Structure 1
Amino acid sequence: MEFFNKTGKMAIGSRLRMLTDKITEDAAAIYKLYDVELKTKWFPVFFVLSNNERLTVTTIAKEIGHSHPSVSKIIREMSACGIINECKDEADGRLNLIQLSPKGQEIAKKLVDQLSDVGAAIDSISKQTTHDLWKAIEEWEYLLNQKSLLKYVEEERKKRESTYVEVVPYTSDYQDTFRALNEEWISRYFEMEDADHKALDNPQASIIDNGGCIFVALYKNIPVGVCALLKMDDDYYDYEFAKMAVSPKAQGKNIGFLLGQVALKKALELGASRLYLESNTVLKPAINLYQKLGFKKVIGHATPYKRCNIQMELILNKEVAKE
């Protein structure tokens, strides 16, 4: 259709709805053709009941993948038409059991020929098509159960947005940004501590002049994220991955991950074999990011921060780390 050629895949929901409406309209006419007293929306419930003696609403809902309230509504409608009967479970009087009534059983017999003819008709249509719609639906259902369309779109949005991101080395022009971004998230969840003031008040002296590095993420040339590598006076760890902060306005653009990748690449260039970081488990997105970058939980290292309740490390050079 010309309209959908214009909209492209954006209108997939509308297109599927139109196809569903067309098939549903024909389905109602098909039931009349076979003199079967069923509504199309009842069929999943009816089919399950026709293959079982008695079932609870919960069991039916689970079997057909519908919600309990929607199945309950269908049961009430079918009961009003005399297609099903309800009775109490003899073993547990709290449970209602649903079964086909004699009228429902007669409908089930009449439905046999209809199901056979409909199946043959679908096969006939499929033979005239290049692609197997039934298999395609199965594949889409499986994939969307693994990951929602929303998640797919979010990932594509991140990819596109990340093309506008550039990570650059720190200069004094970014001193206020470095402090503001870090102070913003720290104050939101915790309190600024002495170690924060030392690092943020004069990053040149406290970080860079001590052998560390700071990186700034620019989104369309506007600074929106920062992170640092702090040279550690430690016999085990080479650098601390620290002071990661991204503006709330720029989150969801993969900026934290891009900053992390640049920092890890720089650490390798500097010959680092082990990186260390400190965080707090209340910062779930940050913990997920660190894990995505390859950091794993460790314990036992001294920390100057009261807010620290998780420590992590990343082995960059396994051969050197063994020594």
Structure 2
Amino acid sequence: MDFDKIGEMALGSRLRALSDLVTDDAEKIYELYNIALKPKWFPVFYFLSNQNKGKSITSIANAIGHSHPSAIKIVREMHKAELILEQKSKTDKRIKNIVLTPKGIKISQSIIAQYNDVENTIKDMMYQTRHNIWLAIQEFEYLLNEKSLLERVKEQKKSRESQEIEIIDYLPEHRDDFKLLNEQWIEQYFQIEKADQKALDNPEDYIIKRGGKILVAIQNNTTLGVCALLKKQDQKYEYELAKMAVSPKAQGKGIGNLLGKSIIEKAKDLGASYIYLESNTILKPAISLYRKLGFKKVIGHHTPYERCNIQMELKI
């Protein structure tokens, strides 16, 4: 396989191929030094040869970075080869500690020369390369420990899909989608209330003609989300963020975040100093989004909604 042609996305396959190449030679190196070990046994053997007392399977697995079943499999193979044996713990008879046998101890003493030759060979190879693969692996492992490859790919996917989404101003042809998307999420958790019906049945009169705005998230001419900015008759709060809804089919694409940021920009253009919103703490993803957008909890304001148990504001 031409990994250079495929590129970085074949990293896993290339590392496996490199591992196979090194492992094949490792078996021959053990034979060269008359050492009765298999390459896959090395992590367990090396760990035990540097311990003053026996270790449990769990301790071994944690130390070598293997799963518990993987460590058990290696230990069984080494036990069959008479390199290790099990001893009951003196403090807890339920625990079996693994120790090297006299045969294993003898190998640990005779393998020192091989260790030195292999280490010097690897170092010599690294001196001949422009990039230190050992340091590069350490850096890569550090990044993966911070955030897994899966998480990073999910973020990349979300970012790409977000760029394909367009936020536009509401048009009359979006009326049905505006109502349907809002009804879907409300009925999933609560019941439609009178205040909902006024906005959803006639958004043009109730929201837009009163000085508000509605934004629509679309992709390939399909409505994926909506959000409204209501004009309020309040000394402090000129506008209220409301009626944000995202299609269940589009969850995870960051549409709520795009709509929220866009509606805040609309409020800024309209000269707003504060934006107000009402929600319910059962909607944890929504509350998390509002906090991410900069909203903070406030109390004491009248609400027409029975489902409202949290009020928030954003100072612009």
TM-score by length of 2: 0.92
Which amino acid counterpart does residue 255 of structure 2 have in structure 1? I
Which amino acid counterpart does residue 7 of structure 1 have in structure 2? I
Which amino acid counterpart does residue 212 of structure 2 have in structure 1? G
* C-alpha separation in 1, matches of 2:28 and 2:303: 73
Which amino acid counterpart does residue 258 of structure 1 have in structure 2? L
Q: How many residues align?
A: 315
Counterpart in the other structure of 1:12: 11
TM-superposed CA distance for 1:133, in Å, is 0.7
* C-alpha separation in 2, matches of 1:210 and 1:291: 27
Counterpart in the other structure of 1:41: 40
Deviates more, 1:71-80 or 1:306-315: 306-315
TM-superposed CA distance for 1:295, in Å, is 2.2
Identity of aligned residues (%): 57
Q: Does 1:220 align with 2:220?
A: yes
Q: Give the match's secondary structure for 1:211.
A: coil
Counterpart in the other structure of 1:144: 144
Deviates more, 1:258-267 or 1:237-246: 237-246
* C-alpha separation in 1, matches of 2:309 and 2:87: 56
TM-superposed CA distance for 1:151, in Å, is 1.9
Q: 1:93 to 1:234 in 2, by over 3 A?
A: farther
* C-alpha separation in 2, matches of 1:37 and 1:205: 85
Counterpart in the other structure of 1:229: 229
Matches within 5 A, 1:84-233: 84-233=84-233
TM-superposed CA distance for 1:299, in Å, is 4.2
TM-superposed CA distance for 1:102, in Å, is 1.2
Superposed CA deviations along residues 219-244 of structure 1, whole A, max 9, x for unmatched, are 12322211111223334433221211
* C-alpha separation in 1, matches of 2:190 and 2:94: 51
Q: Give the match's secondary structure for 2:91.
A: coil
Gaps of at least 5 residues in structure 1 are 317-323
Counterpart in the other structure of 1:272: 272
Which amino acid counterpart does residue 100 of structure 1 have in structure 2? L
Q: 1:278 to 1:110 in 2, by over 3 A?
A: farther
Superposed CA deviations along residues 78-134 of structure 1, whole A, max 9, x for unmatched, are 112111121111112221111111111111112212111111111111111111111
Which amino acid counterpart does residue 75 of structure 1 have in structure 2? V
TM-superposed CA distance for 1:139, in Å, is 0.8
Superposed CA deviations along residues 139-170 of structure 1, whole A, max 9, x for unmatched, are 11110111111222222222222232221111
- Root-mean-square deviation (CA), in Å? 1.9
Deviates more, 1:292-301 or 1:3-12: 292-301
Q: 1:24 to 1:282 in 2, by over 3 A?
A: farther
Q: Give the match's secondary structure for 1:225.
A: strand
Which amino acid counterpart does residue 55 of structure 2 have in structure 1? L
Q: 1:84 to 1:297 in 2, by over 3 A?
A: farther
* C-alpha separation in 1, matches of 2:90 and 2:211: 78
Q: 1:102 to 1:238 in 2, by over 3 A?
A: farther
Superposed CA deviations along residues 247-306 of structure 1, whole A, max 9, x for unmatched, are 222333332222111111111122222222233344333233223222234444443333
Counterpart in the other structure of 1:321: none
Counterpart in the other structure of 1:24: 23
Deviates more, 1:137-146 or 1:165-174: 165-174
Counterpart in the other structure of 1:259: 259
Q: 1:37 to 1:254 in 2, by over 3 A?
A: same
Counterpart in the other structure of 1:320: none
Counterpart in the other structure of 2:55: 55
* C-alpha separation in 1, matches of 2:100 and 2:203: 76
Which amino acid counterpart does residue 88 of structure 1 have in structure 2? K
Gaps of at least 5 residues in structure 2 are none
Q: Give the match's secondary structure for 1:157.
A: helix
* C-alpha separation in 2, matches of 1:59 and 1:309: 49
Deviates more, 1:131-140 or 1:209-218: 209-218
Q: 1:63 to 1:279 in 2, by over 3 A?
A: farther
Q: 1:39 to 1:312 in 2, by over 3 A?
A: farther
TM-score by length of 1: 0.90
* C-alpha separation in 2, matches of 1:105 and 1:299: 71
* C-alpha separation in 1, matches of 2:55 and 2:179: 63
* C-alpha separation in 2, matches of 1:187 and 1:103: 71
Q: 1:299 to 1:49 in 2, by over 3 A?
A: farther
Q: 1:228 to 1:40 in 2, by over 3 A?
A: same
